[in-house]
Chain A
């Protein structure tokens, strides 16, 4: 009887192990802040590193960016990344690509030279890959498709980059449908072979909902020219009490005004103002 029980237990143990375990992998990664990882796709330039360090210090979570394909992973043990933000590292753990999460086991700091020549991870470190001539048409088609996503509101921001024939999607959304729709639209553009979807679906959170509504109301009141009935030039991303302002305004005072308004919203922790200032093009006098 006991022997039978032992066999059953061993069988169960094997089943549980097989079902529960994810494959442990090690890959070359850049340790980034959540904010920069989802906005500054592309080569690891000095400005990217500065962005990572600054926004991490200001409260953005540390994440792992796979250098092989630019997939962003939120991790369970952020402490392991703490000393390595803004650096290259070999990370080991159970990575779930679909959900963009990773159970970290270890993080080993590396230098770029530690990555062998010809390794796929090298490709994404090379700035030349982000300036592929001839892809402007594909880039514009992808951009247009993403601009036309029907359920995008001021609380969603989707960005992308094109690396050869691969579209890397990134950003944040409050709706699952935007995440899948963006991937579908990018994939159907002729010339796009692969889509990597790093768009994060934000938890709604009762407090975050109040912050969203408050920020929108304040910005609509003060900067109404950037909001129209079915959209806005300013995007308001709220995640765990942090506010990220994105999009475009025409002057620095408008950008500053947006920051000031957002900072007065109760219950918000930090405001990351990443608004781009693009003055309107001057019209030719002739």
Chain B
């Protein structure tokens, strides 16, 4: 009897540990998804003004120049002023991603779920792409950049058919077409708001791609959209990498300056 009770107690203990571990695991996972800075409170849909090349999301576009290293489809700017350039910062806060629909899009067909789906996934993709070089933090502070970004030119896609997504993938009311999307991005000093770098990526990576479910990354039909978002994010990282590359006199001085301790 007492042996059974001991076994029962051990079992209860183990179940409790297992349950707690599972809860801890779940809470950690949901924390990652929900507390990504700003991910839950993304702003509403905006529209590209008629006849404009850019959305107006960035404060100015004059500083941007074609970047051949990124294939010529990207316009970039990286400040070179001493102590106010990309190398002066190393942590990052990524703002919620704004979504701008194309000028002729019926904005009433873009519901909150659709906008949040695009916004949240690109937010996640950007964090994935930059976080080992710019560790993410949850609030502005010294040595911290704020990354603002927008998906510009989103259009309404086709109806989402019943079989387009598995039952647990929560289909959207209306698919979103990202075929003509471009990305506008800006890095500013998180405390002063001063611009440090910016980029407009006009690469047509989303051609033919639609997003038709909230958790679309698990659905094969929408794989092209996920790849496009990941690629845009990876090009942002490429831009940051190229801006950090040591060249000319800087490379010479860094080489001369560095001696290991022994």
Contacts and interface: CB of A to CB of B under 8 A. Distances in A.
B197 to A, nearest CB: 14
B261 A176 contact: no
Interface string A166-204: 000000001111001000000000000000000000001
B7 A229 contact: no
A6 B90 contact: no
A160 B262 CA distance: 8
B90 A155 contact: yes
A271 interface: no
B143 A212 contact: yes
Interface in B163-208: none
Contacts of B56: none
Contacts of B262: 40-42, 130, 159, 161
Interface string B31-55: 0000000000000000000000000
B87 to A, nearest CB: 5
Interface stretch (B63-71, B148-156, B210-218, B252-260): B252-260
Interface in A16-49: 16, 39-42
B91 A9 contact: no
Contacts of B18: 12, 16
Contacts of A16: 14, 17-18
B137 interface: yes
Nearest to A39: B261
Interface string B234-262: 00000001001110001101110111111
Interface residues of A, number: 51
A116 interface: no
A150 B244 contact: yes
Nearest to B89: A153
A210 B133 CA distance: 19
A5 interface: yes
A214 B261 CA distance: 25
A151 interface: yes
A9 B143 contact: no
Contacts of A9: 7, 10-11, 14
Contacts of A5: 7-8, 11
Given A150-B244, A212-B143, A174 B7 contact: no
B10 to A, nearest CB: 6
Contact of B8 (A2, A151, A220): A2
B132 A146 contact: no
Interface in A136-153: 143-144, 146-148, 150-153
A2 B85 CA distance: 68
28 contacts: A2-B7, A6-B4, A13-B10, A16-B14, A16-B18, A39-B261, A130-B262, A148-B251, A148-B254, A150-B244, A151-B133, A153-B87, A161-B260, A174-B90, A174-B135, A175-B90, A175-B133, A175-B135, A176-B131, A180-B132, A209-B137, A209-B143, A229-B81, A230-B254, A231-B87, A231-B253, A233-B257, A248-B259
Given A2-B7, A210-B141, 14 more contacts: A9-B7, A12-B14, A40-B261, A40-B262, A155-B90, A159-B260, A177-B133, A204-B91, A228-B250, A229-B85, A229-B250, A231-B254, A232-B257, A246-B261
- A-B pairs with the 10 shortest C-beta distances? A213-B142, A147-B258, A150-B244, A159-B260, A9-B11, A176-B132, A177-B132, A230-B250, A229-B82, A39-B261
